[in-house]
């Protein structure tokens, strides 16, 4: 008899977890979510992401392990599955001394290191010569990373889940204990909680360590053929600049900011102007004809709320009201780059829980 599993959440974390678990024939999976690929909503972080692989986990942390493990799979998809909407990008990372201790400086602390832990993980890692650095920057590295077109990749993940037999439906849960009854059979013994920022309000979870990290972006049609970022700006300690060209005609994401605790869903037009100006200053190949912001062709302005969590992502098992719940939420600004690593950890926890179940049954 298969074990019934309900996964709550259809962001990159829920979909990747469903995909990994769907490889097990002994699991019958239903995925339920309020938001699905194709939706754009401030409560749904995944479509707004760049999204790229810019590792930020501290060596030894579970986040770092998840990021390291995820690179291999993103690399494989990039090479073998062009329809998934991921491509390689030459990447330049710049660090400024004055950003140490700011919101964005803390976020990029590991990313800007010239002896970064991922130097032997990503291909082509090289420390830039001082003469190659933009004015005001004291460190710089280049390597090959990937950029994900979220508008293609999220539906791709969903399609793979459906192909593997996952039942997918819309639903809004007010309490995590309502999840088992959402299974196509009417009951489930394992719930996987991939609710992102909503883990802060979902009944039975209400994680007070979870809060929003507001990110504002501009999606443009211009294609610079490169990914660039810098650790901060002179405009504000919570603003930064990044340019990420998405795969297969997805345009380029210009960012951004990391505004801790800010729930504002509407784009700030002044910030948008600053983002566009800083992006063309850092990456002139965005506007080769005129060098001016007016050459940017805007697809949309947007705001996403990163599911921040004090202490890092929560990937662990908890018994709630007699049900087994495996949590997988709180991936802040790194949900894509840690997606497979954390999904494999959920897989391990689910298999562990099944084994315990068997031992209990065999003792009876
Ligand atoms: P979400 O995508 O928010 O999905 C949550 C899911 O849970 C949704 O389907 C929702 O409907 C469902 N849900 C929640 N509560 C309930 C409920 N009560 N009932 C039913 N369903 C519920 N990450 C990277 O790795 N690289 C990047 O370059 C990158 N860039 C980013 C740029 C920006 C501007 C932003 C905002 C984020 C960026 N991120 C990036 C971070 C990444 O987007 C997030 O970490 C990731 O999307 C989180 O995914 P998630 O599945 O946990 O949450």
Residue 173 is assigned to a structural domain of this protein: yes
Closest CA to 61 of 306, 313, 309, 258: 313
Is the pLDDT at 337 greater than 70? The verdict is yes
Ligand 1 centroid, distance to 330 Cα (angstroms):
9
Does the structure show a pLDDT above 80 at 34? Answer: yes
- Please compute the mean of the pLDDT values over residues 6-25 and round it to a whole number: 98
Question: Residues 166-201: pLDDT tens digits?
Answer: 999 999 999 999 999 999 999 999 999 999 999 999
Strands 210-220, 239-245: pairing is unpaired
- H-only helix segments in the chain: 12-21, 62-80, 103-107, 150-163, 269-282, 339-363
pLDDT tens by residue, 97-115: 999 999 999 999 999 999 9
To the question of whether residue 324 is assigned a binding role by annotation, the answer is no
Inside any domain, residue 301: yes
Residue 358 has pLDDT above 90, yes or no: no
Kindly calculate the radius of gyration of the chain based on its CA atoms and give it in whole angstroms. Answer: 21
Q: Is pLDDT above 80 for 364?
A: no
The whole-angstrom separation of Cα 322 and Cα 324 is: 7
For CA atoms 297, 300, 305, 306, the dihedral sign is: negative
For residue range 117-170, what is the model confidence (pLDDT) as tens digits? 999 999 999 999 999 999 999 999 999 999 999 999 999 999 999 999 999 999
Residue 126 CA to ligand 1 center (angstroms) comes to 31
Q: For residue 141, give every residue at least 6 positions away whose Cβ sits within 8 Å of its Cβ, in sequence order, or none.
A: 92, 93, 112, 114, 116, 119, 125, 126, 127, 128
Report, as an integer, the average pLDDT of 29-43: 97
pLDDT in tens, 192-215: 999 999 999 999 999 999 999 999
pLDDT band at 360 (very low <50, low <70, confident <90, very high): low
The per-residue pLDDT for 233 is 95
pLDDT of amino acid 47: 98
C-alpha–C-alpha distance, residues 282 and 180, integer Å: 50
Does residue 362 fall inside a structural domain?
Answer: no
333 is in an annotated binding site: yes
Q: Please give the residue range of the domain that contains residue 313.
A: 3-356
**Does ligand 1 come within 6 angstroms of the Cβ of 202?**
yes
CATH number of residue 69's parent domain: 3.30.9.10
Residue 162 lies in a domain: yes
Give me the pLDDT at residue 362, please.
60
Give, using CA atoms, the residue closest to atom 35 of ligand 1: 49
Count of the separate structural domains present in the chain: 1
Mean pLDDT for all residues in the chain:
96
So what's the pLDDT on residue 361? 62
| 172 close to ligand 1 (CB < 6 Angstrom) | yes
C-beta 56 within 6 A of ligand 1: no
Specify if 364 maps to a domain.
Answer: no
Give residue 165's region: left, alpha or beta (phi > 0; psi -120 to 50). Answer: left
48 pocket-lining for ligand 1 (C-beta < 6 Å): yes
State the average pLDDT over residues 244-269. Answer: 97
State yes or no: pLDDT of 29 exceeds 60: yes
Residues 6+ apart with CB under 8 A from 199: 193, 205, 207, 210, 307, 314, 327, 329, 330
- The whole-number pLDDT of residue 359 equals 66
What pLDDT, on a 0 to 100 scale, did the predictor assign at position 356? Answer: 80
- For the cut 80, the answer to whether the pLDDT of residue 259 exceeds it is yes
> What spacing in Å lies between the alpha carbon of 46 and ligand 1's midpoint?
4
Beta strand pairing call for 190-193 and 323-329: parallel
> Residue 28 falls within a domain, yes or no?
yes
**pLDDT tens for residues 278-316?**
999 999 999 999 999 999 999 999 999 999 999 999 999
Ligand 1 binding pocket includes 306 (Cβ within 6 Å): yes
Residue 361 lies in a domain: no
- Indicate whether 363 belongs to any domain: no
């Amino acid at each position: 008899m298969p074990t019934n599993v309900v996964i709550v959440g259809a962001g990159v974390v829920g979909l990747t977890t469903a995909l990994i678990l769907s490889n097990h024939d002994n699991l019958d999976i239903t995925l339920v979510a309020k938001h699905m690929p194709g939706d754009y909503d401030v409560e749904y972080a995944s479509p707004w992401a760049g999204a790229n692989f810019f590792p930020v986990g501290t060596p030894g942390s579970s986040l770092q392990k998840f990021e390291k493990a995820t690179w291999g799979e993103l690399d494989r998809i990039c090479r073998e599955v062009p329809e998934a909407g991921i491509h390689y990008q030459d990447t330049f990372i710049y660090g400024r001394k004055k950003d140490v201790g700011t919101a964005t400086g803390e976020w990029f602390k590991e990313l800007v290191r010239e002896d970064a832990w991922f130097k032997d993980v990503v291909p082509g890692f090289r420390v830039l010569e001082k003469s190659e650095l933009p004015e005001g920057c004291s460190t710089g590295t280049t390597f090959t990373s990937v950029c994900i077109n979220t508008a293609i990749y999220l539906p791709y993940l969903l399609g793979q889940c459906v192909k593997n037999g996952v039942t997918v439906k819309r639903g809004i849960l007010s309490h995590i204990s309502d999840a088992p009854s959402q299974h196509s059979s009417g009951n489930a013994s394992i719930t996987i909680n991939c609710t992102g920022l909503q883990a802060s309000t979902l009944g039975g979870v209400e994680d007070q360590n979870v809060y929003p990290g507001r990110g504002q972006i501009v999606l443009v049609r211009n294609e610079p053929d490169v990914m660039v970022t810098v650790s901060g700006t002179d405009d504000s300690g919570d603003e930064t600049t990044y340019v990420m060209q998405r795969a297969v005609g997805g345009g380029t994401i210009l960012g951004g900011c990391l505004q801790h605790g800010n729930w504002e869903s509407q784009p700030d037009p002044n910030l948008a102007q600053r983002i566009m100006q800083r992006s063309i200053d850092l990456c002139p190949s965005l506007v080769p004809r005129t060098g001016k912001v007016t050459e940017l062709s805007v697809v949309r302005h947007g705001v996403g709320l990163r599911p921040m969590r004090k202490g890092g992502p929560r990937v662990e098992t908890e018994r709630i009201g007699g049900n087994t719940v495996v949590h997988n939420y709180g991936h802040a600004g790194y949900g894509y780059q840690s997606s497979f690593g954390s999904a494999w950890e959920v897989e391990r926890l689910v298999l562990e829980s099944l084994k315990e179940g068997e031992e209990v049954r065999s003792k009876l």
